[in-house]
Structure 1
Amino acid sequence: MNAMLVGADRLGNIPGVLEEFGIHIAAHVTGRDRSHQRRASDLPTGIEMVILFTDFLGHNVMLRFREAASRAGVELVCCRRSVCALKQALDKREASRCRQCESPACDRRSRA
């Protein structure tokens, strides 16, 4: 799955955590550029998930990318920029997806 990360200047160990969940970083935007606050353009092509690091973003940047994700119909994950917070958010996402799954042979069901 291709994800766009929004927020944080440095990612640290976050790419490793995302790889554990099968998520590839297709784009990373720090959110500091003024154009990120005002522009209401679409997400890059091929993005399937937007991850917002809320403790490194202003409200206008968050609003802009939330709306862009909604327009594109992609999944949105919001969390603080820490490995623990990201794992919790992704585990919660997996658990909610697994509850919707009715297949007893689902490989996600065994991880939940």
Structure 2
Amino acid sequence: MSVLIVGGDHLGSIPKELKKIGVDNIRHMSGRNRNVIKRGMPMTMDLIIVLHDYVNHNLANVTKKQAKECNIPVVFAKRSWSSIYKKLPDSLTNN
């Protein structure tokens, strides 16, 4: 499974915890660079996690719109593993 994380400068233990539940490809976009919105996002991912306390409204809306067009589920969470884990799809958390 592949996951794109949008937002947050430092992810801490989030990638390690995602690997524990079976995520093998993790990409991160901090969202600070304005060119991220213009270039677009890699839409070959299985899930997008938006760290909503670290992105601006425009980036959150663009991410949500592009994901919807590509039928990719989006999770909006704070930058803590407990917040992310609670919002992950059941298919990931029931390993």
Band the TM-score falls in, shorter-chain normalisation: 0.7 to 0.9
Compare relative contact order (CA 8 Å, sep 6+) and give the higher one, 1 or 2: 2
TM-superposed CA distance for 1:40, in Å, is 7.0
Question: Counterparts of 1:31-46 in structure 2 under 5 Å?
Answer: 31-37=31-37, 39=38, 41=40, 43-44=41-42, 46=44
Residue by residue over 1:27-75, the C-alpha shift from the partner in whole angstroms, topping out at 9 and shown as x without a partner, is: 21000011234x273x325311111000001000101111111111111
Partner of 2:45: 47
Q: Which runs of 4+ in 1 moved over 3 A?
A: none
Q: How many residues were matched structurally?
A: 93
Q: Which has the larger radius of gyration?
A: 1
1:23 equivalent in structure 2: 23
CA-based RMSD: 1.9
> Which protein has the bigger helix share?
1
Partner in structure 2 of residue 104 of structure 1: none
| Secondary structure in structure 2 of the residue aligned to 1:68 | helix
Cα distance in 2 for partners of 1:82, 1:46 equals 25
Change (3 A) 1:46 1:26: farther
Aligned ranges 1:1-112 → 2 under 5 Å: 1-37=1-37, 39=38, 41=40, 43-44=41-42, 46-90=44-88, 93-94=89-90, 108=94
Long gaps (5+) in structure 2: none
Name the TM-score, length of structure 2 as normaliser.
0.85
State the alpha-carbon separation in 1 of the partners of residues 39 and 69 from structure 2: 11
Whether the 8 Å CA contact 2:53–2:79 is kept in 1: the answer is yes
Preserved contact between residue 5 and residue 25 of structure 1 (Cα < 8 Å) = no
Percent identical: 26
